[in-house]
Structure 1
Amino acid sequence: MNHKVKISFTIITLIIGFMLAIQFQAVKMPKERDTRDIWELRDALLKEQKLHSTLLDEIRMNEEQLEKYETKMKDSKEAALKETLQQLKSEAGQTDIDGPGLQLSIEPLKEAQLMGEVIYAVSPDLLKRLVNELNMYGAKNISINNERMINTTVIRDINGATKVNGRSLNKYPIVIRVITEDYHAAEKLFNQIQFSPTIDEFFVDNLKVRVLKPRKDIHIPAFDDPIIIRYLQPAS
């Protein structure tokens, strides 16, 4: 009987021990899993932080690039406006200009001076005809006694004095400078203007027009006076 009790006790003890072992293992496993979950979370958080930092760096770089691009665009617009303004000033005759061309001079005939004949002021109509022919033969820019010819320039007689841009041509020689598109155009103009009938008409007034050979370094000054535009109103 005692032997059976011992066997039963042994079996019960084994069962209880086995159950305790299972319970201990069940309690231990969640701790390991919880520990593993914490490390996984920390690793994931670290990766997210690195990704966040990388994204911030990329955003910062893109913002810097955008700022540089906007600055470049602003500078480009300002440069374009300045270039356009300079071009408009050049077309309006408000800048000095150098280039190939030729020079003419109007001076009294020596024969008339020797004979004591009166030398009158150059005729404004004759001077305008000469300027028109120069333009027709390829002149791009013209000055008369350093007075720049522009679209609003008026050549006229005021109280017996021929004036250009309001300034009198009361002394001889009268120097006319012409700038052309290129040197070839200057040579062509030189050949054409020499045989112009307008040149011959100056002899009637005891004047002679000398046409000098083309040069590559003709200088014409800017138009200094304010440009007055009439009959225009600002757009509303």
Structure 2
Amino acid sequence: MDKHKKNISFIVISAVIGFMIAIQFQTVKEPVERDTRDLWQLREALLHEKELQSELLSEIRSIEEKLQAYESKQKQSKEQALRDTIQELKIEAGLTEIQGPGLTLRITPILEEIQIGEPIFSGVSPELLKRLLNELNMYDAKYVSVDEQRIINTTVIRDINNETKIDGHALTSLPIDVKVVVDNLETAEKLYNQIKASKATEEFFIENLKLIISEPKSEITIPAFDHSIQIRYLESLKANEGGNA
């Protein structure tokens, strides 16, 4: 009986030891993946995260300030608070003319091509124009117009019968001015340098176009959006519905 118990104990101990060895072998066989980025890559990643955090905090702070200002105005005058809110929404929707620091980018044909008699495309393709606008937005452009047409969130740029159209407005001839307004003159200087260093000029040159970037100015005028905005998925609220305000 004692011998039988000893055999059972030996089997149990052997099984436990075997299980532990198997776990150890699996751990050695599949090591934890390590971050192979170098010091500069880690610093760039950290800087990017800090910039993102700073932008989010700035946006939160701005929203909190607006809420506080709205609550303060609401106590003083509900009517004035409502008017100020409507004006802010009009500005954000692009329904008001904007003046501020910025710069102008002019799209023109390449003169060399004209001199040798090559046919010149009279406009700019929707794809090229969209790439330029995306790049401007990436570099903190706040308000933009193309050929005096205000660009807003619902703007449609597409090719219709071989003509590039912005919300129905045809870009049929050159030059075309792209006006940009930013928050301050310092940001305008930064935008100027970034566009100068980007591949935008090369992309336009490939399509026989020249992108001329003007020096930043303290005041650029962006026109208001002059088309009707299509509102979808919204319904008017009835008088007996809504909150208690």
Which of the numbers 206, 209, 228 marks the counterpart of 1:226?
A: 228
Matches for 1:92-171 after TM superposition, within 5 Å: 92-120=93-121, 121-171=123-173
| Matched residue, 1:177 | 179
| Matched residue, 1:196 | 198
Name the CA distance, whole Å, in 2 between partners of 1:197 and 1:94.
32
Note the C-alpha offset of 1:144. 0.3
Q: Provide, for residues 156-201 of structure 1, a one-character-per-residue CA deviation record: whole Å limited to 9, x for no partner.
A: 1100000112100111100000000100000000000012112211
Note closer, same or farther for the CA distance 1:80–1:204 as it changes in structure 2 (3 Å cut): same
Percent identical pairs in the alignment equals: 53
Name the CA distance, whole Å, in 2 between partners of 1:125 and 1:208.
16
Aligned residues: 165
Note the C-alpha offset of 1:79. 0.8
Note closer, same or farther for the CA distance 1:73–1:156 as it changes in structure 2 (3 Å cut): closer
- What TM-score, normalized to structure 2? 0.64
Q: Which protein shows a greater Rg?
A: 1
| Matched residue, 1:20 | none
Name the CA distance, whole Å, in 1 between partners of 2:105 and 2:198.
13
Structure 1 consecutive aligned stretches of length 4 or more whose deviation exceeds 3 Å? 72-75, 231-236
Note the C-alpha offset of 1:107. 0.3
Name the CA distance, whole Å, in 1 between partners of 2:136 and 2:231.
25
Note closer, same or farther for the CA distance 1:82–1:125 as it changes in structure 2 (3 Å cut): same
Name the CA distance, whole Å, in 1 between partners of 2:75 and 2:227.
33
AA at the equivalent of 2:128: L
CA contact 2:107–2:212 (8 Å) conserved in 1: yes
- What TM-score, normalized to structure 1? 0.67
Name the CA distance, whole Å, in 2 between partners of 1:199 and 1:164.
21
Q: State the SS of the aligned residue for 2:142.
A: strand
Aligned-CA RMSD value: 1.7
Name the CA distance, whole Å, in 2 between partners of 1:79 and 1:232.
25
CA contact 1:101–1:218 (8 Å) conserved in 2: yes
| Matched residue, 1:80 | 81
Note the C-alpha offset of 1:234. 4.1
Q: Which runs of 5 or more structure 2 residues have no equivalent in the other structure?
A: 1-72
CA contact 1:119–1:205 (8 Å) conserved in 2: no
Note closer, same or farther for the CA distance 1:124–1:79 as it changes in structure 2 (3 Å cut): same
Note closer, same or farther for the CA distance 1:84–1:73 as it changes in structure 2 (3 Å cut): closer
Which protein has the bigger helix share?
1
Q: Which runs of 5 or more structure 1 residues have no equivalent in the other structure?
A: 1-71
